[in-house]
A and B are shown apart, each in its own frame.
Chain A
Amino acid sequence: MSATNFEAAVSGALAEESQRRARRLGRALIWAVAVVAVLWFTGAQIGMNPLALVKGIPFMADFFGRMFPPDLGHLPLLGDATLETVQIAVWGTLIAVLMSIPLALLGAQNTTPHPVVFHVTRMFLNALRSINELVFALIFVSAVGLGPFAGVLAIALHATGMLAKFCAEEIEGVDRGPIEAMQATGAGRMQVILFGIVPQVIPAFISYSIYRFDVSIRAATILGLVGAGGLGFSLIKTMKLFKYHETATCILVIFVIVFVSDWVCARIRARII
């Protein structure tokens, strides 16, 4: 390439670069204006008003004032409710783990027996995840009555939706090599899954399950709001009786068990992975 041609090619590319840059800037500006306009409009529509928040500060202070100091004498009465909360989370998560294993196999593209089964399973799992635990709890309270069992079922269903979907995606992402090797030995379909796929997804599945237990603990603390057992019931009861010092104790206990479960789960996950 001659010197002049070389120079022309370089300056041509430079010119194009600055052109593209200008176009990019223009587009970014248009998008920015549009996004800000939409956010402003929706904010006004849902009544976002910083002034109201500022005006509300004295009321909030009053509310917290009535809660303070927490009535620690109420603490012994919360023992059963705390235990129940943890029990709800344990059973709910355990049932979800057991249900999500077959559902994950049906809902993963590489293990599903049929594409129709795959789509139906994924739709079912999406439905489970889109319904909040509290909504499930309301349904189950009316089905099996007030109490922790309704809470267990609520957590089990919602958690199954999440665990099975994560596990299915993990199954879809496994290394194909060992699967092919198992097929080559003459292994049957189920044996290929057991030896070629399961060992590959076990660590992630355990990790998700522990994380999900942590989420279940948090969910279990509020299920009592709709009568499905646990600390949430004490919380709503004390509030309705205007015993705010006791409400504060409930919140404190919730804070402690969420904190402890988060710490314990992090330790276990670190140990396993």
Chain B
Amino acid sequence: MNAPDTRLQPMLSIRGLSKTYPGGVRALNNISIDVAAGEFLVILGPSGAGKSTLLRCINRLVDPSEGQVLHNGREITGHRGDLRAIRRQFGMVFQQFNLVKRLSVLTNVLTGRLGYRGMGRSLVYSFPEADKRIAIECLARVNLEQKAFQRADTLSGGEQQRVAIARALAQQPTVILADEPVASLDPKIARQVLGYLREVARELGITVLCNLHQVDYAKEFSERVVGMSRGAVVFEGPSAQLTEDILHRIYYREPGEEAKDEA
């Protein structure tokens, strides 16, 4: 199980990924993206472009119809057996935070450890001391350790999303998948949350794939942008290259227009 040298190959490689939902909706059409270790990649596109489906195909909340995802050179699509081990590697942050409202902040972060633990202790809602230490450290990274014992739904939206980031960190993941993490937050709080996400990822060397629909945030926070429209990649490059023409292609592409290949 020696991990191959990540400098020589992308840590995450998406190859020819397509997804057709049972109703016949084609959400993803032959997506190929390479992501380097430690990168902060923004996936930019309008609602319905397939961004959420793409992230969910990576941690297998959705099973892709065609194509592969390679994580450090190892294919993670296809086999069901080690699904839990695969999902542990990918922390996820959601638009609606998806905290368990009635549980404490600390317990919510501790759920990030569930993938490592068996059923036994979970039955009595108990976690090992080592997990508690990890969880509190993760909370401290988003500066919320002082709110550890409050119920999750007593926190503001921005704080809840920071708790969700801490939960993702508690998985000790190699990648964080953030699905429109700031779409329900006002601009000031949104920048703060994106700032936390970028900083902790940088400190811990975690790769981030972040779905956004706002161009401003993409320009501000990304190292590289992938533009998506109607289930296809229509742009790939640094955010400085996001010209009016390219934005038009991402946001206003008419049906039938061919998706342009990689820029």
Contact = CB atoms under 8 A, between A and B. Distances in A.
Interface of A: 177-178, 180-188, 190-191, 194-196, 199-200, 202-203
Interface string B88-102: 101110101111111
A180 B61 CA distance: 8
Nearest to A194: B122
B111 interface: yes
Contact of A191 (B86, B94, B97, B122): B122
18 contacts: A177-B96, A177-B98, A178-B98, A178-B100, A180-B61, A181-B111, A184-B61, A184-B92, A185-B88, A185-B92, A185-B111, A185-B112, A185-B115, A185-B167, A188-B119, A190-B119, A195-B125, A199-B102
A219 B98 CA distance: 42
A200 B164 CA distance: 18
Interface in B106-133: 111-117, 119, 122-123, 125
Contacts of A186: 83-88, 114-116, 171
Given A188-B119, A190-B119, A195-B122, A181 B98 contact: yes
Contacts of A194: 122-123, 125
Given A194-B122, A194-B125, A200-B100, A181 B92 contact: yes
Contacts of B155: none
Contacts of A187: 84, 111, 114-115
Chain B, interface SS category: mixed
Nearest to A184: B92
Contacts of A195: 100, 103, 111, 114, 122, 125
Contacts of B77: none
A181 B84 contact: no
B172 to A, nearest CB: 11
A-B residue pairs, 7 tightest by C-beta: A186-B115, A177-B98, A186-B87, A187-B114, A181-B98, A184-B92, A186-B88
B131 to A, nearest CB: 12
A183 B92 CA distance: 10
B53 interface: no
Chain A, interface SS category: helix
B56 to A, nearest CB: 9
Contact of A177 (B84, B86, B94, B122): B94
Contacts of B98: 177-178, 180-181
Of B97, B113, B115, B123, most A-chain CB atoms within 10 Å: B115
Contact of A199 (B85, B86, B94, B100): B100
Contacts of A183: 61, 87
B174 interface: no
B211 interface: no
Interface string B184-196: 0000000000000
A184 B100 contact: no
Contacts of A180: 61, 94, 98
A199 B171 contact: no
Given A180-B61, A186-B87, A191 B114 contact: yes
B102 A202 contact: yes
Contact of B84 (A188, A190, A202, A203): A188
Of B84, B114, B123, most A-chain CB atoms within 10 Å: B114
Contacts of B103: 195, 199
Of B61, B101, B122, most A-chain CB atoms within 10 Å: B122
B102 A182 contact: no
Contacts of A185: 87-88, 91-92, 111-115, 167, 171
B125 A184 contact: no
A203 to B, nearest CB: 8
A184 B87 contact: yes
B59 interface: yes
A199 B152 CA distance: 12
A187 B127 CA distance: 13
Contacts of A203: 102
A190 B96 CA distance: 23
B96 to A, nearest CB: 5
A190 B100 contact: no
Contacts of B94: 177, 180-181
A199 B177 CA distance: 25
A196 B100 CA distance: 7
A76 B72 CA distance: 80
A47 to B, nearest CB: 54
